[in-house]
Structure 1
Amino acid sequence: MSTNWLRVLRAVAQPRVRLVCFPHAGGTASAFRTWPAGLPDDVEVLAVRYPGREDRIAEPCATRMGEFADAVTAALLALDERPLALFGHSMGASVAYEVAHRLAGEHARPPVALLVSARRAPHRLQPSGTGDLDDDALVAHVQGRGAPASAALDHPELRELFLPVLRADYRMLDAYAGEATTRPLPVPLTAYYGEQDTGAAEPEALAWAVVAGAGFAARGFAGGHFYLVPHEAALLDDIARRLAGTALEAPCRP
């Protein structure tokens, strides 16, 4: 079932729910490769495959959030109507949020949960200019946030490969900051955050309540922007709990 936009990390014959994972800026579907082992056996795990990296490296990176979210939405609509839950980390949280709006609105197939991580709420986004930093400053920014495998940017040949992807992602996010959807979403929303994340700690996580139109919760973990790496087991346990039982009762269709 893997497609150009979706990679199946664990296929389940009759899944109770599909958890669709959206990577961070510069990230890849492989960031979630270890997640199936930490989730119940009846949860099918998929990751979104962003263009411009891994086996889509020859394709241009996305430049507009709207077109990006439209393409992912179309890929999800091509699946059968098993319940969907969306998890997005950092940039992935914004992509997942826009996809959730499309699914819940014009397509009347709302996800059963939206799980956002380490990201400001849409109405609090501001352009950062990160994509326009010089090479050394951009590398320092990424490594300062503790991004997995960011040490690869110390190698000139890998830096040449990854920096254009990072710039494209950050520039797309800057453009999105002025056009983000800010109306309430009719889907249960949970915001996760790193307690020492200088850009998206507790106040930013709690601000997601403004656009949560069907229930809201937040949970913090010790650590910075990539808190989810050392706390993967605890995060997945929390996600599994939220996807269990009544959490899978689909929200009312608009």
Structure 2
Amino acid sequence: MTTAEDTRALWLRRYHPAGTDAVRLVCFPHAGGSASFYHPVSARFAPRAEVISLQYPGRQDRRKEPCVTDLGTLADLITEQLLALDERPTVFFGHSMGAALAFETAWRLEQRDAGPHTVLASGRRAPSTTRAEEVHLRDDDGIVAEMKRLNGTAAGVLGDEEILRMALPALRGDYRAIETYSCPPDRRVRCALTALTGRDDPLTTVAEAERWQEHTTGPFRLRVFDGGHFFLTQHLAAVQAEIGRALDPVPPATAS
């Protein structure tokens, strides 16, 4: 029988132990991404922070599960998993699709008076901006071409037919979720929000990233990096410094 604890272990991955008074950092992967993408972030901030990396259905050890192809539904499911945890001051970090998902999850948690201290939205234009995108409707070759354009997947994976075949269903499902996502224009969170973007990102202009300011009533900050969509791999230390900056003012948890 699957218990609630077993279900949480499927969704929430912890790679390093944290202290009882540690704050919490929740990391939301990009489209096609997995929890292990944030292993370096966990190594950097534990035990100062309890770093939780989300594992969406349809990838790696969850590849036999169907992908969740609606972003709102995925945010609902993640919200329920996070609400079941002990209360700790929390920061969210999400890249690309993960940025929109972090925002939607934060908004849902704030409706339950359990929102994060800060959301860091990386590599994603603000929800108030729209583009006509249909990558999820392409054939397999078309999705692979998009992956190469964004340079977000190691060349070895793109050249390994077996691994690629396993990854494509998650990619298609995630692209469907983010490309059909629609946010009410007046949706705002109360927490601080920091937008991170690559100057040459083909999916997000600096102006589109700046419009994240319209979606918070709290403090807003924009940081622009050289590079494209996956600027964070090129500037890992600087991006981790931004995460550290967000964690610094968060008070430690009260040890029970």
* TM-score above 0.5, yes or no: yes
> For structure 1, which runs of at least 5 residues remain unmatched after alignment?
none
Task: From 172, 175, 183, give the equivalent of 2:177.
Answer: 172
Q: Residue 127 of structure 1 contacts residue 173 of structure 1 at CA under 8 Å; is this kept in 2? A: no
Q: TM (normalized to structure 2)?
A: 0.90
Aligned position for 1:135: 140
Does residue 226 (structure 1) correspond to residue 230 (structure 2)? The answer is yes
Give the partner amino acid of 2:70.
Answer: R
Aligned position for 1:58: 64
Does residue 4 (structure 1) correspond to residue 2 (structure 2)? The answer is no
Q: Residue 38 of structure 1 contacts residue 237 of structure 1 at CA under 8 Å; is this kept in 2? A: no
Cα distance per residue 1:145-178 (max 9 Å; x no partner) = 11032541222222221112111111111221x3
Give the partner amino acid of 2:247.
Answer: L
> For structure 2, which runs of at least 5 residues remain unmatched after alignment?
none
SS of equivalent to 1:203: helix
Aligned residues: 247
CA distance in 2, matches of 1:13, 1:39: 11
Aligned position for 1:98: 104
- What is the RMSD computed on CA atoms of the aligned residues? 1.9
| Percent sequence identity over aligned pairs | 40
Does residue 198 (structure 1) correspond to residue 202 (structure 2)? The answer is yes
Aligned position for 2:27: 21
Shift of the 146–180 alpha-carbon distance from structure 1 to 2, 3 Å rule, reads farther
CA distance in 2, matches of 1:15, 1:229: 30
Aligned position for 1:122: 127
Task: From 171, 183, 189, give the equivalent of 2:193.
Answer: 189
Q: Residue 18 of structure 1 contacts residue 46 of structure 1 at CA under 8 Å; is this kept in 2? A: yes
Aligned position for 2:164: 159
CA distance in 1, matches of 2:252, 2:192: 10
Q: TM (normalized to structure 1)?
A: 0.91
Give the partner amino acid of 1:221.
Answer: F
Cα distance per residue 1:163-198 (max 9 Å; x no partner) = 12111111111221x345742210100000111112
Task: From 34, 38, 50, give the equivalent of 1:32.
Answer: 38
